[in-house]
Amino acid sequence: MSHPQQAINLSASITTLDALFRARVALTPDCLAYRAFSERSGDWQEWTWRDIDDQVTRWQFALHREGLQPGDRVAVMLRNSPEWVIFDQAALGLGLVVVPLYTQDRADNAAYILNNAECKVLLIEGNLQWHELAQVMPELTHVLRVLSVGKCLVDHEEPRLRDIASWLADIHLEPGQSLPLATHRGEDLATIVYTSGTTGRPKGVMLSHHNILTNINACLVRMTVTTNDVFMSFLPLSHMFERTCGYYLAMMAGSVTAYARSIQLLADDFLIIKPTLLISVPRIYERIWTAIRAKLEAGPTIIRWLFMHAVEIGYSQFEYQQGRADWQFKLLWWPLMQRLVAKKVLARLGGRLRCALSGGAALQADIARVFIGLGVPILQGYGLTETSPVACANDPVNNIPESVGQPLRDIQIRIGDQGAVWIKGPNVMLGYWRNESATRAVLNEGWFNSGDTGRISEQGHLYITGRLKEIIVLSSGEKVPPTDMELAIARDTLFEQLMIIGEGRSYLSLIAVLHAEQWRSLAQGIGVDPDADMSLQAEAVVGLVIERIAAQIREFPGYANVRRVILTREPWTIENGFLTPTLKLKRQQVLSHFALDIERIYSKPNKP
């Protein structure tokens, strides 16, 4: 590579996301930008910023040929890839508004979004998505063109379908040839991001170029990202956390982005990509910890002791470095624990991971403690799609893992009625697309009502305590925020996934997915068949499970006891409809699915 990477500072000339891209290309055209695995060639490929720019120009000529005008909406339904970036930048440079869709979304939901935003172009991957979308194509009256990265089976009844290769085939450009770019400002609409929603139809969050650019800049002030950093991207780019921090931020910082092949191949891709920075939702950290824990529990006691001892000393080292604890004699053991334990575990994550970012949902403090104890600072942050998305984040030198950190630069946080978290700043959305009533319900004089509840410490750190709409009100009138209880119960390795219920009831209950190996061990230990569904309702099983739950929630008030359980072995996934594409639990879906079981357990006489 002929030029060293350099970070870009925002200036009067960089007011839009496409201007940021052009500044990056001009600054370091021949530096490595992206790595991705090619299924066609069977190996990993690399792209420089010049390579991406050349393709962006070709795609712009092709998009222009479709008769699109600035302000028109175009949609992308791809896995993370250089093509995602190319399409996004080509569209933004023409003044188009990009609407991302989740690749795993249902066809009917995708159709709703495409119609609601009146998207004129849709980019998909290939046959699998086309098979799903073909059934709703007659409804998509605004869509003029469907583009497929891979070849689709020819559908003579759908003239709107083209593959990218044929769409671009006759675009031959002279060196330096380009289209006149759109004249637009930072305040103009850049993207409409539809919230995945745990209930009801999604709403289109309108974000401007200014919203996102200021958020990137504020993130880089909070945490240093160097030109030597390598991001491993696997959260969908449809998720604003990944799009802002793993795409636009990396572009501003001059870092390399490598696209993981899949969640299933993450373990292998860690070893290949060797990332220095990781952006994820808590579910991924939970999976990594579950895998580590399973190996520990299957191994000798001395190995488990050594691991936990290393985490304890490592976390004490962290607290000492943060200035929150005095030096202790046991810290002398840290170099040895680091060599015997920490480095071996971190080698499975590529061996170069210097920081891990967590957002999108609450991360269990115990899990953060493990990673930090092994020498990988986890910085938990907080935000929403409506805030572009980061509102708060911990600082590497002021990191309180139980909190979501302090507000970023130029962002204000206040606690309103019922503990509601209100946010104000340049990152707050323009509003919801064509939904003035929903916009008025959450925006008030520049302040955005997050719908979350929280508290602010004397040091200015925000602690999220729950969701306003998720507070459970018992028939006695007592209010129970379920999130803290769920996090406490999840400390028990028996529970893979769980949800507290009890709205309008006289007591709380728990619906839980059991960890397969832990369940088998428990069932065999008390003499029941682990493969029989009826075993999940056996009195001995239920009694033991309730005892284990009680051990985790002793610090909660007496009215917050869990007295009934519904147990299942089937995981809650995106595919079976229990999780959103961002891995958040669809509580209403769980309630509907287990409605008969809920009535069964609450119809039993209550035992004090």
Are 247 and 306 part of one and the same domain?
no
pLDDT for position 556: 79
Distance CA 158, CA 138 (A): 9
Which of the listed residues 361, 376, 391 is the one where a domain comes to its end?
A: 376
- Same-domain check for residues 486 and 593: yes
CA distances (Å), origin 320, targets 103, 113, 153, 222: 44, 50, 61, 21
The answer on 243 and 121 residing in a single domain is yes
Of 192, 227, 252, which residue is a domain's last?
Answer: 252
Q: Are residues 514 and 597 in the same domain?
A: yes
Q: How far apart are CA 258 and CA 266, in angstroms?
A: 12
Instruction: Specify if 404 maps to a domain.
Output: no
247: domain CATH number?
3.40.50.980
Are 75 and 165 part of one and the same domain? yes
Better-scored residue on pLDDT, 471 or 135: 135
Q: Shortest CA distance to 102 belongs to which of 329, 362, 385?
A: 385
Which of 76-85, 268-277, 599-608 is predicted least confidently? 599-608
Distance CA 105, CA 119 (A): 16
- Pair (330, 247) in one structural domain: no
What pLDDT digit, counting tens, does each position of 9-63 carry?
Answer: 766 679 999 999 999 999 999 999 999 999 888 999 999 999 999 999 999 999 9
131-140, 318-327, 380-389: range with lowest mean pLDDT: 131-140
Question: Where a domain ends, among 376, 407, 422?
Answer: 376
The yes-or-no verdict on residue 469 having pLDDT over 80 is no
* Within-domain flag for 576: yes
**C-alpha gyration radius of the chain:** 25
Residue 437 lies in a domain: no
Residue 280, in any domain of the structure: no
Query: Are residue 75 and residue 148 in the same domain, yes or no?
Result: yes
pLDDT tens digits, one per residue of 295-316: 898 899 999 999 999 999 999 9
Residue 427 lies in a domain: no
Residue 381 lies in a domain: no
| Tally of structural domains, the chain | 3
* Stronger pLDDT, 479 or 275, i.e. the higher one: 275
Supply the range of the domain harboring residue 321. 286-376
Residues 51 and 180 in one domain: yes
Q: What is the pLDDT of residue 198?
A: 45
CATH of the domain at 518: 3.30.300.30
Q: Are residues 246 and 345 in the same domain?
A: no
- pLDDT-derived band of residue 1, with 50, 70 and 90 as boundaries? very low
